[in-house]
Amino acid sequence: ILFHPFSGVKPDVSLEIMKAGSVLRKAKSRMWRGHRHYKLQDDCKTIAYKSSWAMNSYSTCDVEAVREGHESDVFLSVADEYPPERCFTLVFRGRRGNLDLVAESAEEAQAWIRGMQTLIENLQSMGESEKLDQWISDLFLKADRNKDGRISFKEVRRLLKLMNMDMNEDHASSLFRMADKSQTGFLGSEEFVHFYKMLTQRKEVVELFQEYSSDGQTLSHCDLEEFLREEQLEGDRSQEHALELIQRYEPSDTAKANHTMSIDGFLMYLTSADGSIFNSEDQRLYQDMTQPLKHYFISSSHNTYLLEDQLKGRSSVEGYIQALKRGCRCLEIDCWDGSSGEPVVYHGHTFTSKILFKDVINTVAKYAFKTSEYPVILSIENRCSVEQQKVMAQLLKDILGDMLLRTTIDGKVPSVLPSPEELKGKILVKGKKIGGLESLDADNPVSGEVSDEDDSSELRRDSLTTESLPSDSKVSRCKSKQSLTKELSDLVIYCKNEHFNNFEHARIHGKPYDISSFSESKARKIIKEAAADFAQHNARQITRVYPSGLRTDSSNFCPQDMWNVGCQMVALNFQTAGLEMDLNDGLFSQNNRCGYVLKPEILRNSEQQFNPDKPQDPLIQVISGQQLPKVNNKVGSIVDPFVRVEIYGLPADQATQETSYIENNGLNPCWNETLEFAVHTPELALIRFVVEDYDMATKNDFIGQYTVPFSCIQSGYRHIHLLSKDGTSLRPSSLFVNINITEAS
Ligand SMILES: *[C@@H]1O[C@H](CO)[C@@H](O)[C@H](O)[C@H]1NC(C)=O
Ligand SMILES: *[C@@H]1O[C@H](CO)[C@@H](O)[C@H](O)[C@H]1NC(C)=O
Ligand SMILES: *[C@@H]1O[C@H](CO)[C@@H](O)[C@H](O)[C@H]1NC(C)=O
C-alpha cells in the first residue's frame, strides 16, 4: 500500500510486541474467564482477535485513551482478582463501552499501554492532509474487495455507493479511464488518489480561487491578502497574515518559497482551523476570569453517576470521568447509607446499581483538573445517616486533601463570591449548612437540623415513578427536618443550599454564597411571570436548575430558556445525546472549554434594565457539503441531504430555516441557498447547523450537526466540521458556507 496512515510511526519495541501478539484476558466480571489472542496488524490500524466463533477486530483510530491499572468500573469491582500493574483499559470514542484487559505480566501490560499511547499521539499529531490521506487509504482498502492491491471499475461502482454517491455511470466510467494512466483496466493506489481527487474536485472552491488569482494558476500573497480582506473580513490583520497562511498550508515547497498559494494550499487553508466558522481567538481562554462566580454560566451535570435511565440504569464512575472530560464543572452526587458502613451513590428508591462514594471521590480527585483548572463544584444530595455523613466528610478530606476548599479564601466572611481565577485547582462542596459563614467562630453544635425541602423534593418526585405521575405542586409540600452533621456542614463554604421564598425575601436576606435550586417547571413558571426579576436575582446569587423528576428516561430540557435569564448552573443529563447537549457543548466550546463562560453584561448588572447590544442580521449562504456519512448501511441507500440552520437565544431570536434537499448525493451536494436571519441579542444566541437525510414517508434521519455561539462565528467563506449525535468528530464531513453579517440599522 502506497499511502499508509501510520507510515510516520517510528519503529518501536512496544509496537513490535503488540504485532507479535499477546494472550490477554478480557475482564468482564468475576465469573467471566475469557482469554484471547490479540494482535496488532502490520498497518498499525487494526487489533485483531479470535473469539470462539470468528475473527474480530478493533480499530486503533477509535481508541481515545488508554488507562493504566484499576481505572474502570469492572476493575474497581474485581480489584482483588488482578494485580493493577497487569491491568489496562482501552477507552473508545463516543458512547461505546470500555475494553478491560489483563496481561500475563506487568512488562507485557506496559508494552500495550506504551504502544497504544504512541498510536494515539500519532493520530493526534496528524495534519489535515495526512488525515485526508488516511481517509483515502481506508476507502481504497474498502474498495479492494479481493485484496489484490488494485481496483476494477466494478469495485469502484460499489465504492461510490459506499461513499454515499449515486453517480452517472458514463461520468464515473470516463473519470475511471482518465485516472487509469497505465491503461490496465485497473486503478493502482496512486491512480486511485488521482481518481479520488477528480471525483471530489470542489468546483465552487476552484471558481473562488480563480476569481482572486491574477494569473489564473496561483494566488500571490497580494491576491491572498485581497481575498482575506474582501471576503474573510480579516483586513485588519497585517500582510504577514497572508504569508503565514502560505507557510502553514501550502504543500508545494517551490510555491511556498515564491510566496504563492496553489489551489491545493487554498483548499487546505479553507478546511483548516483558520478557515473554520469558529473564530480561533474565541477558542482560547479569552474571557475575564476574575469576576465573581455568579457572573458565569457553569457547565453542570445532573445525576452524573448514571449512564442510562433513572429507573434501572447503571451507575458508574465512568459518568464522572466523561463529564469532567467534557469540561463539566458541577457534578451531582446522590449519597445514601451503604450496607458496610460506607456511603454509596445511586438514584434512591430505584433499581439503578450502586457505587461507592469513596470510588467517586477518588475519580474526581484524579480527573478534576485534566481538562480545566477552574474550580469543580460537588453538588451533594445527602440522604445519609449522621454516622455515614461523618464517613463522607472524612473521605472528602482524606482523598481530596489540599484540593478541598475548607475555609473562605481570605478567612473572612465574604461580601461577594470569589472568582474562578481565585479558586483555581479547588474543589467546592455544595450542600446544606447549619447556620451561615457568619457563625464560623460561634460555638456550633455537633449537628443540627436543616430543612428537608428543596432538592429532597427532587429525589422524592423521582422515586414516584411508574405510579400515577403527580404534578410538582402536589408532592413537594411535605416538610420535614433532617439531621446534618457538623463535619459535613463545615465543608460547605461558598455554595450553601438555601430555600427560595420569593425575590423580595432573597434580595433582603440572601447571602452571596446562597444557592437555590429549581426544577425546570418551576423555573419556567417564574420566567413566564417575572423574567426580569429572575435575571436580576441571578445577577446577585447563583441558581441551579435541574430536569423534572418525571424525566425517568434521562431526557433533557432546553437550557437556553434558563441561560436567557442568567441561571448559572443549568444541570443536564450529560449521558443523553441530542439537541440539549448540543447546545450545552456549543455554549461551552468557547473560552478554552474551561467550563465557565462569562455571562453577557446585561445579565451581570442587577440594577441595569435589559439593554442588548446592537442587533445583527446574518445572511448565511449554504454552499455545499463534503463527504457526508451514510445513515443507513444498506449498500443501495444514499442520502438526500438538506441543511437546517437554527438560532437559539431570546424568544424573539429563535428561528429556523432550511435549504431544499438534494437527491442521492452525500459526497458533494451543492445547495447555493441563502438563509436570512435577524438576531437582536447576539451575545446570548447560539447557532446550530443540522444536516438531515430527507425522507418523504418517515421522519428525516439525523446526519450531523455543529453548534457554535453566535458571537464566535467568523464572516466569509468557512467550513463547518460536523459532529455525530454524541458529539464526536465526523471528519472529513463538512459544510461550506459564506457568512455575511450586517449590523441592523
Ligand atoms: C514565482 O512567482 C513569479 C511571480 O509571481 C512567477 O512569475 C514565477 O513563475 C514563480 N515561480 C515559480 C517557480 O513558481
Ligand atoms: C453554485 O454556485 C457555484 C458558484 O457560483 C456554481 O459554480 C455552481 O454551479 C452552483 N451550483 C448549483 C447547483 O447551483
Ligand atoms: C454583505 O451583504 C450586504 C447586503 O446584502 C452587501 O452590501 C455586502 O457587500 C455583503 N458583504 C460581503 C463581504 O459580501
d(CA 185, CA 667) in angstroms, rounded, equals 24
Residues 401-419: what's their mean pLDDT?
93
CA 474 to chain centre: 37
- The per-residue pLDDT for 81 is 85
pLDDT per position as a tens digit, 632-644: 766 567 889 999 9
Atom of ligand 3 nearest to the CA of 738: 14
For the chain, the farthest-separated pair of C-alpha atoms sits apart, in whole angstroms, at 94
- The per-residue pLDDT for 2 is 37
Per the model's pLDDT, the better-predicted residue between 16 and 172 turns out to be 16
Q: Which residue has the cell 486503533?
A: 60
pLDDT per position as a tens digit, 521-563: 999 999 999 999 999 999 999 999 999 988 988 999 999 999 9
Q: Where are the beta strands (DSSP E) in 202-314?
A: 219-220, 260-261, 296-301
For ligand 1, atom 3, the nearest C-alpha belongs to 258
In 3-state terms, what secondary structure has residue 670? strand
Q: Which of 70, 221, 295, 347 is catalytic?
A: 347
| CB burial of residue 652 (10 Å; 0-12, 13-18, 19+) | exposed
All three cell numbers of 680, joined, read 437582536
Residue 413 neighbours by CB under 8 Å, 6+ apart = 437, 438, 440
At residue 208, does pLDDT exceed 90? yes
Share of the chain above pLDDT 70, in %: 90
Q: Which residue has the cell 484540593?
A: 403
Binding site listing: 303, 332, 334, 381, 430, 432, 517, 544, 638, 640, 664, 693-695
Residue 110 neighbours by CB under 8 Å, 6+ apart = 14
Using an 8 Å Cβ cutoff, are 627 and 733 in contact?
A: yes
Ligand 3 site-directed mutation target among 233, 742, 745, most atoms within 8 Å of CB: 742
630: DSSP letter: P
Atom of ligand 1 nearest to the CA of 218: 5
Instruction: Tell me which amino acid residue 158 is.
Output: R
Q: Which of 302, 537, 719, 721 is catalytic?
A: 302
pLDDT tier, 444 (very low <50, low <70, confident <90, very high otherwise) = low
Our answer on whether the CB atom of 481 is closer than 6 Å to any ligand 2 atom is no
Domains defined along the chain, listed by start: 13-126 (2.30.29.30), 129-199 (1.10.238.10), 203-275 (1.10.238.10), 294-434+449-463+482-603 (3.20.20.190), 616-743 (2.60.40.150)
Q: Determine the distance separating the centroid of ligand 2 and the alpha carbon of 191, expressed in angstroms.
A: 28
- The per-residue pLDDT for 10 is 66
Confirm whether 347 is a catalytic residue. Answer: yes
- The per-residue pLDDT for 126 is 77
Helix spans in 472-623 (H): 472-475, 486-489, 503-509, 520-540, 560-564, 579-587
Confirm whether 349 is a catalytic residue. Answer: no
For ligand 1, atom 5, the nearest C-alpha belongs to 220
Our answer on whether the CB atom of 254 is closer than 6 Å to any ligand 1 atom is yes
Using an 8 Å Cβ cutoff, are 27 and 217 in contact?
A: no
Q: Determine the distance separating the centroid of ligand 2 and the alpha carbon of 559, expressed in angstroms.
A: 38
Q: Determine the distance separating the centroid of ligand 3 and the alpha carbon of 237, expressed in angstroms.
A: 20
Residues 264-285: what's their mean pLDDT?
93
In 3-state terms, what secondary structure has residue 516? strand
Residue 185: CB atoms within 10 A of its CB come to 11
Per the model's pLDDT, the better-predicted residue between 163 and 15 turns out to be 15
Weakest mean pLDDT among 252-256, 279-283, 435-439, 737-741? 435-439
At residue 478, does pLDDT exceed 50? no
Beta strand 260-261 pairing with 219-220: antiparallel
Per the model's pLDDT, the better-predicted residue between 254 and 237 turns out to be 254
pLDDT tier, 123 (very low <50, low <70, confident <90, very high otherwise) = confident
At residue 65, does pLDDT exceed 70? yes
At residue 377, does pLDDT exceed 60? yes
Which helix (H) or strand (E) segment is 483 a member of?
Answer: strand 481-485
d(CA 323, CA 378) in angstroms, rounded, equals 12
Ligand nearest to the CA of 223: 1
At residue 1, does pLDDT exceed 50? no
Give 484's Cβ-side CA count (13 Å radius): 23
Weakest mean pLDDT among 117-126, 266-275, 666-675? 117-126
- The per-residue pLDDT for 633 is 64
Binding site listing for substrate: 430, 432, 517, 544
At residue 457, does pLDDT exceed 70? no
Residue 446: CB atoms within 10 A of its CB come to 10
Our answer on whether the CB atom of 262 is closer than 6 Å to any ligand 1 atom is no
- The per-residue pLDDT for 453 is 53
d(CA 666, CA 642) in angstroms, rounded, equals 10
At residue 137, does pLDDT exceed 90? no
At residue 439, does pLDDT exceed 70? no
For ligand 1, atom 14, the nearest C-alpha belongs to 255
pLDDT tier, 187 (very low <50, low <70, confident <90, very high otherwise) = very high
Per the model's pLDDT, the better-predicted residue between 126 and 460 turns out to be 126
d(CA 646, CA 668) in angstroms, rounded, equals 22
The listed range with the strongest mean pLDDT (71-85, 92-106, 279-293) is 279-293
Per the model's pLDDT, the better-predicted residue between 44 and 87 turns out to be 87
Q: Determine the distance separating the centroid of ligand 3 and the alpha carbon of 740, expressed in angstroms.
A: 6
d(CA 75, CA 70) in angstroms, rounded, equals 5
At residue 450, does pLDDT exceed 60? yes
Our answer on whether the CB atom of 742 is closer than 6 Å to any ligand 3 atom is yes
d(CA 355, CA 653) in angstroms, rounded, equals 44
Phi and psi for 623 in degrees, rounded to 5?
A: -90, -65
Per the model's pLDDT, the better-predicted residue between 160 and 573 turns out to be 573
How would you classify residue 90: left for phi > 0, otherwise alpha for psi between -120 and 50, otherwise beta?
Answer: beta
- The per-residue pLDDT for 315 is 86
Q: Which residue has the cell 446570548?
A: 684
Q: Determine the distance separating the centroid of ligand 1 and the alpha carbon of 260, expressed in angstroms.
A: 8
Atom of ligand 2 nearest to the CA of 208: 4
- The per-residue pLDDT for 470 is 39
Per the model's pLDDT, the better-predicted residue between 361 and 631 turns out to be 361
Ligand nearest to the CA of 740: 3
Long-range pairs for 150-153 at CB < 8 Å and ≥24 separation?
150/184, 150/186, 150/187, 150/188, 150/189, 151/186, 151/187, 151/192, 152/185, 152/186, 153/185
- The per-residue pLDDT for 636 is 61
Per the model's pLDDT, the better-predicted residue between 504 and 93 turns out to be 504
Sign of CA dihedral 578, 579, 584, 590: positive
Helix spans in 512-641 (H): 520-540, 560-564, 579-587
All three cell numbers of 352, joined, read 439503578
At residue 608, does pLDDT exceed 80? no
Our answer on whether the CB atom of 203 is closer than 6 Å to any ligand 2 atom is yes
Q: Determine the distance separating the centroid of ligand 1 and the alpha carbon of 275, expressed in angstroms.
A: 25
Using an 8 Å Cβ cutoff, are 273 and 130 in contact?
A: no
pLDDT per position as a tens digit, 309-355: 777 778 899 999 999 999 999 999 999 999 989 999 998 878 788 89
d(CA 556, CA 574) in angstroms, rounded, equals 9
For ligand 1, atom 13, the nearest C-alpha belongs to 254
